[in-house]
């Protein structure tokens, strides 16, 4: 669990970047390839880092759907031509805020 802090910080940084890149809202996200690419890349890194978090910590935080996060990473990495931007936006809008909250709790546990 000691190494978890590094991965938790990495996930936090990805969330912060995604928030920054999507400040312009859904319409801008849907119209700007550069923003889409940056967001999708950070979602990939976020999901990859989350896979490296210890099983013990994951068991202590069942509010995070770790399996769905891992599955989404596989879609982004292996099916990049078929990425559904509407689904990506829904994740940004609906799932990232709760992940961010859970992540902050996990980081507090490390201090």
What class does CATH assign to 4-110?
mainly alpha
pLDDT score of 1 more than 60: no
pLDDT of the residue at 81: 66
Domain extents for the chain?
4-110
Torsion sign across C-alpha atoms 31, 34, 74, 69: negative
Local confidence band at 38 (pLDDT 50, 70, 90 cut-offs): very high
- What positions carry a catalytic annotation? 73, 78
Which residues, 6 or more positions from 51, have their beta carbon under 8 angstroms from its beta carbon?
69, 70, 73
Write out pLDDT tens, residues 41-84.
999 999 999 999 999 999 999 999 888 888 777 777 666 667 88
> In the structure encoding, which two tokens stand for residue 15, read together?
């969330």
């Amino acid at each position: 669990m000691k190494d978890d802090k590094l991965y938790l910080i990495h996930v936090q940084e990805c969330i912060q970047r995604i928030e920054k890149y999507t400040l312009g809202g859904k319409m801008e996200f849907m119209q700007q390839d550069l923003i889409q690419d940056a967001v999708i890349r950070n979602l990939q890194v976020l999901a990859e880092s989350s896979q490296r978090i210890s099983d013990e910590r994951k068991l202590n935080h069942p509010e995070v759907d770790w399996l769905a996060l891992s599955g989404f990473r596989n879609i982004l990495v292996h099916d990049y031509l078929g990425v559904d931007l509407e689904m990506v936006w829904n994740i940004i809008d609906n799932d990232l805020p709760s992940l961010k909250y859970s992540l902050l709790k996990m980081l507090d546990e490390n201090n």
